[in-house]
Amino acid sequence: MQLYQSRGFNEFFSDSFDFIKLHGKHFFKHFFTITGALLIVLSIVSYYFTKVYAEAVVSGITNGSNPFKVLDNFMNENFGIFILSIIVIIVVSLFFGLIIYSFTPIYFKLYEERGGANFEMADIIKRYKAQSGKLLSFLGYGILLAIPLGIAFFISAFILTITIIGILAIPMVVALFTSLYHMTLLEQLDNKRSFWDSFGYAWTLITSKFWHVVGALGILYLISYVVQLGVNLIQSIFQTASVLTDVTPQSVLEPQSLATTIIALLLFFITFLVSTSLATFIQVCQSIVYFSLKEEKENINTVSEIDQIGSSEA
């Protein structure tokens, strides 16, 4: 598939699905090979962190106490462990999240350079190592940039929630902010621009075809949200069942408690997996959009074809 070509609203969708049809096996094989263990660790850590504090709240309710006061007492009594666990979870989540998030941009950059999916795991890992400095730079500056962007996002979302139509437009706001980050990283990996220059360039690309970009990606986010809502509902039911079972005194001796916990943990992982897979597919679409907008701005493929014609005539 040619990445550098002009696309409209419909092509953003169709070419993203075509890319998955053509290279989905290669893409997801390498994605889950690299990120599979990280996803398992993140899902387990998230599950038990949620479970511990949910049990504290449920225990307060079953004992007739104020659940928030019980949770506050629990945190104060385990203050050292609580702070340490928060720090560990944040550090691990940021590091693992960076690896997972940057896979798609790295994959597409290799795809662009090789003219297709003719590369293997060793090439991807080598590129991770070569781009480690830029990835860490992206993480640091990205966190810094998240402060003003986060404020702008919540103000926009608050204004939009006033009307029903506005609520439906929230996915477009999400699409705008996430696309800015994704295209910034793609541009930064070119080794031509700094983070801030890449961010400015990403903004220029998006605004050149603003409604097409945020409209198409906003629809994908809306579909993703609906799917995740259904999966999360099932997972939450079993999570609640697990918590209620575990706060019962005799539950330690009951085999059902262990079975419920295993099912809840499995569903938590499946939810995590579905969420990550949907987010990764949206990244694929964002990458397709990026190369399309870049072609319209710089005529990269057009210039390349002219050069090839000139060289063949010579």
Q: What is the pLDDT of residues 210-267, one digit of tens each?
A: 999 999 999 999 999 888 888 777 767 766 665 555 554 444 434 446 666 677 777 7
Q: What is the pLDDT of residue 90?
A: 86
What's the pTM? Answer: 0.83
CA 199/CA 181 separation, integer angstroms:
7
The predicted structure's pLDDT at residue 72: 67
Average pLDDT over the chain reads: 82
Q: Tens digit of pLDDT for each residue in 178-202?
A: 999 999 999 999 777 899 999 999 9
Percent of the chain predicted with pLDDT > 70: 79
pLDDT the model gives residue 193? 85
Q: Is the pLDDT of residue 312 over 80?
A: no
Average pLDDT over every residue of 58-73: 60
Residues 6+ positions from 94 with CB-CB distance below 8 Å: 139
pLDDT of residue 250: 45
Domain boundaries of the chain, sorted by first residue: 9-308
Give the tens place of pLDDT for each residue, 131-183.
Answer: 999 999 999 999 999 999 889 888 888 888 787 777 778 889 999 999 999 99
